[in-house]
Amino acid sequence: MFGRRKKKGAAEDAAGEAEQVVDSVDTEADEAEAERERVRLEPGPRPDGPWDSSEVRDPAEGRVDLGGLFVPGVDGMELRVEVAGDAIVAATVVLRDSAVQLQAFAAPKREGIWGEVREEIASGITQQGGIVDEVEGPLGWELRAQVPVQLPDGTGGFQVVRFVGVDGPRWFLRGVISGQGAVQPQAAGLLEQIFRDTVVVRGEGPMAPRDPIVLKLPNDAQMVPEGVQQEEGSRFSGGMGQLQRGPEITEVR
């Protein structure tokens, strides 16, 4: 009798353990599904921008026409473009000791990608030994990161950057804020306003999600190599400098 009871008890224990494993798997599956739902939400309202080209009467008013983006012009700013192969894929606005890189991508019609992109950026930075905090800032959820870099003297250091993003109708606009605007976010008000007031021109043609929206140089713009002295009297209003091809601020993957 004792032996049979022991065998029965062992079977009951095994069944109980199996139920716990099943419950654990179900819980993990539920959590994974909830996480997928969190990062694939539909694009939310954008009462303060950035704007779709269909939402602005005259995108060129007060902005520089880069084709896929209309970038606001402000006094004293320098505008650089980043090139991948033969295509211009990003624009960087330099304002005093801060900068914001603007890059637009195609996105699904009813699904935002910023949540998913944040996770990928954060994972890539932490894998390289960086530090990332996800916070809700003036532009919504963003990443404030310390990215490992090699300093001019060959030693290792960190660059402080802010990754911001907004999902729009069939597009996603990402901004990378560096310089004092990243070190002291409260000093980045003008850069954030430039990001908000940017207009995205997605176009009607088919594009795969995450394909970069290609930009172009404005008419009669001149490419000025970095470090070359600029001539007096820029063609841009508001005292903006001429276009320069600058170093690309790349997403860490």
What are 37-63's pLDDT values in tens digits?
A: 555 567 777 788 899 999 999 999 999
CA distances from 242 to 67, 76, 199, 210, 245 (A): 17, 11, 20, 29, 10
Backbone angles phi, psi at 245, to 5 degrees: -90, 115
pLDDT in tens, 225-247: 554 444 333 323 233 333 444 44
Q: Per residue in 63-113, pLDDT tens?
A: 999 999 999 999 999 999 988 888 898 999 999 999 999 999 999 988 899
* Partners of residue 143 on adjacent β-strands: 134, 163
Q: 145, 125 in Cβ contact below 8 A?
A: yes
pLDDT in tens, 131-171: 999 999 999 999 999 999 988 888 889 999 999 999 999 99
* Total-model pTM: 0.73
- Mind listing the pLDDT tens digit for each residue in 172-191? 999 999 999 999 988 899 99
Q: Is 245 exposed, middle or buried (0-12, 13-18, 19+ CB in 10 A)?
A: middle
Q: For residue 9, give the 3-state DSSP assignment.
A: helix
For residue 82, count CB atoms less than 10 angstroms from its CB and return exposed for 0-12, middle for 13-18, buried for 19 or more: buried
